[in-house]
């Protein structure tokens, strides 16, 4: 499951915990724990949503699930270690 989160993070963009939990088929509390674990292990780094997005929300495919929704969103980036891990995964 942690590998799937890394692969999703590797796609970039912002996504709410709820949307990510739906995609993974687990509850949002579990997703929060897994993201926290990946951050502690230096595979992911939390970032401000504004740093990964230009704000053109109307044309964005993720505008319904974006981290810009107050209180609902989360944004992250792969660290160098995370990028290396994803690069070594099949179908990455």
**Cα gap 49→53, rounded to integer Å:** 6
Q: Express each pLDDT in 22-77 by its tens digit.
A: 889 999 899 989 999 999 999 998 876 655 566 656 666 565 555 555 544 457 78
Cα dist from 60 to 25, 63, 66, whole Å: 24, 5, 9
Q: Domain 2-87 is of which CATH architecture?
A: Orthogonal Bundle (1.10)
**Full-model pTM:** 0.72
Per-residue pLDDT at 92? 47
Q: Where are the domains of the chain?
A: 2-87
Residues 6+ apart with CB under 8 A from 37: 2
């Amino acid at each position: 499951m942690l590998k799937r989160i890394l692969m999703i993070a590797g796609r970039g963009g912002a996504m709410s915990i709820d949307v990510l939990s739906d995609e993974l088929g687990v509850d949002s509390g579990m997703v929060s724990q897994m993201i926290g674990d990946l951050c502690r292990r230096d595979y992911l780094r939390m970032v401000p949503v504004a740093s990964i997005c230009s704000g053109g929300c109307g044309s964005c495919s993720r505008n319904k699930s974006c981290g810009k929704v107050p209180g609902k969103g989360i944004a992250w980036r792969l660290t160098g270690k995370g990028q290396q891990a994803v690069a070594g995964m099949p179908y990455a």
